[in-house]
């Protein structure tokens, strides 16, 4: 195909389909936007730090004794251990000290 043919390809009336009107394009875009809004409304439940640590321990156990055909780079494994340390540090720092008055019967 020559450059001239490529440029003039839209000028041919070889299309068997009808042209889409502006209104149809707007309606198609609106339908896509409502689909996105519905997907955004479905929120994932929050996972507690203790649950995240438990699940991460399972993954690390899997990586400590993987199947024969499973290969992982050492850096990726270390990344997961560092992530575990960060979650533990976050959990420790986010704890709030309880008030001593609640332990005393005053």
- In the prediction, which pLDDT does 51 show? 93
Residue 85 pLDDT greater than 90, yes or no: yes
Instruction: Give the helix ranges, DSSP H, for 1-106.
Output: 3-7, 22-41, 49-64, 74-94
pLDDT digits (tens, 9 = 90+) for 35-80: 555 555 566 788 899 999 999 999 999 888 888 888 888 788 889 9
19/71 Cα distance (integer angstroms): 53
- In the prediction, which pLDDT does 36 show? 55
Residue 106 pLDDT greater than 80, yes or no: no
**Per the structure block, which two tokens stand in for 48?**
């507690």
Sequence-distant (≥ 6) Cβ neighbours of residue 59 within 8 angstroms: 80
């Amino acid at each position: 195909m020559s450059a001239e043919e490529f440029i003039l390809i839209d000028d041919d009336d070889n299309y068997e389909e009808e042209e889409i009107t502006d209104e149809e394009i707007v309606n198609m875009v609106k339908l896509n936007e409502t689909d996105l809004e519905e997907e955004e409304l479905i929120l994932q439940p929050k996972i507690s730090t203790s649950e995240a640590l438990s699940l991460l321990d399972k993954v690390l156990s899997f990586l400590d004794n993987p199947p024969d055909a499973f290969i992982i780079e050492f850096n990726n494994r270390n990344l997961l251990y560092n992530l575990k340390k960060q979650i533990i540090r976050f959990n420790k720092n986010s704890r709030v000290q309880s008030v001593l008055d609640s332990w005393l019967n005053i």
